[in-house]
């Protein structure tokens, strides 16, 4: 009998789909197969697979194998919609009973056509079961939540979504409506070991601008600040232009923050007043090693003929009192804005990424000149990723000349 380490090495060279079916070979393969089957769990649709996984995860021997958890609570709305007609039917008369029986038949037919599953428990029991199961997952390290819209179920998903919050989670990805942030993020003190936070903020357009600012300052900022002892990577994306300067102003110093990724909407007001991002960068000049700045075109209103992003970035950079000690820089911006960032950050950069936009030859020339002008004499760019329109002999010669 080989030791477990040998079987683990063999499994590393086999497709996961193959390993997951080898549970009957021996005890070691059973353990490997179970780890593969349950290391990543996703709850998004109300079906037999979800029911089976909820049942299996009640077993602690299975629950401890989950490492990655994805939840989109659309299924809560789904089960409420399935149960609503039943509640509306009268069961007091024979006629009502016949209607109820016909309703079940119709629901079964509808579910057969659409692939839905009639859940064998009511909405309240489902929510209790989810809370119980998710609170019993002790080894989750990555947790992804997508919760926006779904106005008809209000804040019902919040209790079971936060039930999975635990010190074991290292990476949290949230795609949420800002309106839902108070209920979901009031419990971040449970995330005592969180190292990576990825926020994608949407708006359901149910509140006024003043209320949104209040949520940013009184709920979202404190939730993030509670992570200051461990947070190393922070990413912020917006679905549309929004003034988040009050959020940046309310964030404290994160002494271990090494990586920052910001998506800036191309349409005004971008991220609000430039001082918000500028002062946040200034507070973390001595800790940041990796910086990513991307232009985002998700705004439904489109762009005007004039792109003001370079002016906004220039204003934001003016709040820096000195250079950042960056080692990695990734830019997905127009040439003018990218050149401004290179002028400020290229001095210490050893890894540069200029992808996301296809650059013509002249733009590549301008950006490489900006790098060359600002690189220290004893500093050498070690890694370059470039998204050029074409790869030509002239471009190769340019790279050889500008990057000796």
pLDDT in tens, 113-130: 444 445 566 778 888 999
pLDDT band with cut points at 50, 70 and 90 for residue 90? very low
Residue 10 lies in a domain: yes
HSE on the CB side for 257, CA within 13 Å?
Answer: 24
pLDDT in tens, 257-298: 999 999 999 888 899 999 999 999 999 999 999 999 998 875
**Contact indicator for 293, 322 with CB cutoff of 8 Å:** no
61: three-class secondary structure by DSSP: helix
pLDDT of residue 376: 58
Query: In 10 A of CB 152, how many CB atoms?
Result: 11
Q: How far apart are CA 324 and CA 308, in angstroms?
A: 24
Paired with 142 in beta bridges are 68, 171
Top-confidence residue, 13 or 250: 250
Query: In 10 A of CB 244, how many CB atoms?
Result: 25
pLDDT of residue 35: 80
- Whether the pLDDT of residue 391 is over 70: the answer is yes
Torsion over CA of 32, 63, 223 and 153, rounded to 10 degrees?
120
Q: How far apart are CA 29 and CA 21, in angstroms?
A: 9
Paired with 296 in beta bridges are 265
Residue 116 lies in a domain: no
**What is the DSSP code (8-state) at residue 295?**
E
- Whether the pLDDT of residue 219 is over 70: the answer is yes
**Contact indicator for 381, 350 with CB cutoff of 8 Å:** yes
- Whether the pLDDT of residue 303 is over 90: the answer is no
pLDDT of residue 388: 73
Q: Which two tokens stand for residue 29?
A: 């393969």
The distance between the two most distant Cα atoms of the chain, rounded to a whole number of Å, is: 91
Bond preceding residue 269 cis, omega within 30 of 0: yes
Residue 155 lies in a domain: no
* Residue in this structure with the two tokens 């909820």, named with its chain if needed: 54
Total number of domains in the chain: 1
Residue 140 lies in a domain: no
**What is the DSSP code (8-state) at residue 360?**
P
Q: Whole-model pTM?
A: 0.83
pLDDT of residue 110: 44
**Contact indicator for 286, 256 with CB cutoff of 8 Å:** no
Residue 323 lies in a domain: no
pLDDT of residue 96: 41
Q: How far apart are CA 248 and CA 220, in angstroms?
A: 10
Angle between helices 274-283 and 309-317 (to 10 degrees): 40
Residues of the chain with pLDDT > 90, as a percent, come to: 41
- Whether the pLDDT of residue 370 is over 70: the answer is yes
How far is residue 20 from each of residues 2, 61, 235, 261, measured CA to CA in Å? 19, 16, 34, 36
Residue 26 lies in a domain: yes
- Overall average pLDDT of the 25-30 stretch: 67
**Residue 261 CA to its chain's centroid (Å):** 11
**Contact indicator for 107, 82 with CB cutoff of 8 Å:** yes
pLDDT in tens, 243-259: 999 999 999 999 999 99
**Contact indicator for 131, 163 with CB cutoff of 8 Å:** yes
Residue 11 lies in a domain: yes
pLDDT band with cut points at 50, 70 and 90 for residue 18? low
Residue 17 lies in a domain: yes
Average pLDDT, the chain: 81
Query: In 10 A of CB 397, how many CB atoms?
Result: 10
- Overall average pLDDT of the 203-226 stretch: 91
Full domain range(s) for residue 9: 1-38
pLDDT of residue 119: 55
Q: How far apart are CA 106 and CA 373, in angstroms?
A: 72
Q: What is the DSSP string of 108-135?
A: HHHHHHHT----SS-HHHHHHHHHHHHT
Give the gyration radius of the chain's Cα atoms.
Answer: 26
Q: Which two tokens stand for residue 279?
A: 């002062």
Nearest residue to 359 (alpha-carbon basis) of 330, 328, 332, 396: 332
Q: How far apart are CA 7 and CA 10, in angstroms?
A: 5
């Amino acid at each position: 009998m080989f030791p477990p380490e040998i079987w683990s090495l063999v499994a590393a060279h086999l497709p996961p789909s193959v390993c997951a079916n080898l549970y009957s070979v021996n005890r070691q393969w059973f353990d490997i197969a179970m780890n593969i089957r349950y290391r990543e769990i996703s709850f998004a649709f109300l079906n037999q697979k979800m029911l089976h996984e909820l049942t299996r995860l009640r077993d602690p021997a299975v629950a401890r194998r989950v490492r990655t958890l994805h939840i989109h609570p659309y299924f809560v709305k789904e089960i409420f919609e399935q149960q609503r007609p039943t509640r509306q039917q009268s069961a007091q008369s024979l006629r009502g009973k016949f209607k109820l029986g016909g309703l079940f038949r119709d629901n079964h037919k509808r579910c057969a056509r659409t692939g839905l599953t009639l859940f064998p428990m009511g909405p309240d029991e489902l929510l209790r079961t989810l809370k119980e199961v998710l609170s019993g997952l002790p080894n989750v390290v990555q947790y992804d939540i997508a919760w926006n819209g779904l106005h008809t179920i209000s804040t019902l998903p919040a209790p079971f979504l936060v039930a999975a919050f635990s010190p074991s989670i290292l990476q949290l990805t949230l795609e949420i409506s800002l309106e839902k942030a108070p209920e979901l993020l009031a419990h971040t003190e449970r995330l005592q070991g969180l190292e990576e936070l990825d926020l994608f903020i949407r708006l359901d357009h149910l509140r006024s601008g003043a209320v949104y600012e209040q949520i940013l300052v009184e709920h979202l900022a404190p939730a993030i600040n509670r992570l200051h002892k461990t947070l190393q990577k922070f990413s912020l994306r917006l679905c549309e232009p929004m003034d988040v300067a009050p959020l940046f102003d309310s964030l404290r110093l994160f002494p271990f923050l090494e990586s920052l990724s910001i998506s800036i909407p191309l349409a005004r007001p971008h991220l609000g007043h430039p001082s918000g991002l500028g002062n946040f960068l200034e507070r973390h000049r001595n800790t940041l090693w990796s910086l990513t700045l991307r232009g985002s075109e998700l705004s439904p209103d489109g762009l005007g003929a004039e792109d003001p992003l370079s002016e906004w970035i220039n204003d934001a950079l003016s709040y820096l009192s000195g250079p950042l000690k960056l080692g990695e820089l990734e830019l997905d911006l127009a040439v003018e804005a990218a050149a401004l960032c290179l002028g400020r950050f290229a001095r210490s950069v050893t890894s540069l990424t200029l992808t996301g936009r296809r650059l013509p030859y002249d733009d590549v020339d301008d950006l490489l000149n900006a790098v060359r002008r600002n690189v220290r004499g004893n500093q050498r760019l070690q890694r370059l990723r470039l998204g050029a329109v074409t790869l030509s002999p002239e471009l190769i010669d340019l790279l050889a000349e500008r990057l000796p």
